[in-house]
Amino acid sequence: MSGEQRGGHRPGPARAGRSRPERAVQPARRVAYDVLRAVSASDAYANLMLPSVIAEAGLDPQDAALATELTYGTLRRRGTYDAIISAAADRPASEIDPAVLDALRLGVHQLLATRVAPHAAVNESVNIVAASQGRGASSFANAVLRRISRESAEHWQERIESEARSDDERLALRTAHPVWVIRALRRALAAEGRAPELDALLDADNASPEVTLVALPGLAETGEPRRPYASTAFASPGGDPHRIVAGSGGRVRVQDEGSQLVALALAAVEPIRAGERWLDLCAGPGGKTALLAAIAHENGVVLEANEVVHARAGLVRSALRPVPGEVVVHEQDGRALASSRPGAFDRILVDAPCTGLGALRRRPEARWRKSPADVAELVPLQTGLLNAALDALAPGGIVAYVTCSPHLAETTGVVQEVLRERPGFIELDARAVVADLAQTPIDLAEDGSGRVQLWPHRHGTDAMFLALIQRPASDTQGD
C-alpha cells in the first residue's frame, strides 16, 4: 500500500499509539492545529479553548493573532475546504484520517485565503502530519497540498461549484454554510421582507466580529468607543480584552451587544419595584446573569439563577463574583424548577438552549455540528421551558424568551405555539422596548408581532431573538 493510500484511511489503535519523530512546527500553527483537533475530536468550543492554549504556549501578540486567524478561518470555511481537498485527493474528505484532514484544512486555508508563503503552508502542515501520524500519512498530505498549491483559489472555487447540484449547493460552497442553514436564514429574512439581504448576512457570518465589552451597571464605567445601542456596551480599544477584564476584577466583561440588549430589555420593560423577584432560568455561562445581577443589586431586587449543567453552573457562579450580594444558583432542569415555583417571580429570562445559528461569527464550528434534527429535538425543550416559566410568573410578571438563533422554528414558532395554548397571556411590544433602549436609531423589522430579531449584517451583533410575554395582573392561576 502506498503512502498516499495509508494517509487516506483512519488509523487503527496500534497506529494511533506509535511514537513519531518530532519535526519543527511554528508555534502559532501548532496552537491552531491543536484547537482544530479538539474541536473535531472532542466537540470543544474554539472560542473557549483558544485563549487558554495561546496562554499556555506563551505566544507573543503577533503569533497569537496568527493562531487566531488560522483557527477561525479554517473552521469557518471547513465545508468549502473539504470539497477542495476531496477534489485534490480524489477521494471524499470523510475517508481521510481525521487528524490528517485537520492538518490539510489548516494548510488549504493558508494556501488559498492568506498571504502565507505556499512553501511554508505546505511544509508546516506536512510536518504536523509527520509528527503525529508518520511518514506515509505525511507523503499523502504533501501530495494533496502541492496539488492544491499549483492552482489559484478561484480555480478551486470554480471547480467545486461546477459540480454542485443546485443553486443553494453552489451558494453553500461559496459561502461555507451548510445548505440547510442557508435555507433557514433565507426564510427568517423573508419573514421580515428582507430576503435580498441573505448574501450580506452570509458574508457577515464569515467576518471576524469586533470584540464588545459590557460595563456592569453601578460597578464599572462604560468605556470608549461606545457601541451604538446598549448603554452598557463599548468596543475593545485593542490588544488583549482579557487584560481589561482582569484589571476590572470582572466588572467589565466580554459580551456581545445583542446579548446585553435582550437582558436590558427585560429590566427596562416596566419600572422596577424594590423587592421584585427575578429568575435567570437557563443561566450558563453567566454573562446575562451578571448583567441582571448588577441591575438587581442597584434596585433592591432578589435574583436567582439556574443552570442544569454542573460545569456551566460553575461558570455562572464565577461570572457573579464581582457583583455584591448573593445570587442563589440552582442546578436543575429548568422545566422542573420553574414548575415547582408557581407564581414566584416577577421577571424571568428564558435564554433557551438553541442551535446557536445566530453566533456563527464567534462560534464558526456550530454550522458544521448542527443539523435539522437538532432543531426538531430542541423545539420541544424550548416550548417546555417557556411554558414552565409562564407558570412561574406572579400576576403581572413578564418572561423574556431569548434565543441566539434566527431559525423560525426556534423563535416565532415556539412563541406562537405557546401562546395558542395560553390565550390569557399578553405578548408585549419588545420592539418598542429595544428601540427605546437604543442609544441611536435601530433598524428593526415592522412585522406587527412586536418581536425583535437582531442581525450581524444589520446591527453588528449576534442574531439574537427576543419576545416579551406578560401574565395578566388579574390572573391568579397557580397561586
- Helical axes 61-76 vs 98-113, angle rounded to 10°: 110
Q: Quick one: which of 398, 316, 300, 302 has its CA closest to 349? A: 398
User: Which of the residues 404, 428, 438, 469 is marked catalytic?
Assistant: 404
Phi and psi at residue 398, to the nearest 5°: -130, 135
Grid coordinates representing 345 are: 417571580
C-alpha cell recorded at residue 28: 502559532
Q: How wide is the angle at C-alpha 323 spanned by C-alphas 319 and 326, nearest 5°?
A: 95
Grid cell at residue 19:
511514537
Q: Residue 188: CB partners within 8 Å, gap ≥ 6?
A: 406, 407, 408, 411, 453
Residue 239: burial class (beta carbons within 10 Å; 0-12, 13-18, 19+): exposed
Residue 253 and residue 245 in contact, taking contact as beta carbons nearer than 8 Å = yes
Nearest to 351 by CA among 315, 306, 304: 306
CA distances from 37 to 24, 280, 447 (A): 18, 34, 44
404 is catalytic: yes
Phi-psi category of 343—alpha, beta or left, where left has phi over 0 and alpha has psi -120 to 50?
left
Give the residue numbers marked as catalytic: 404
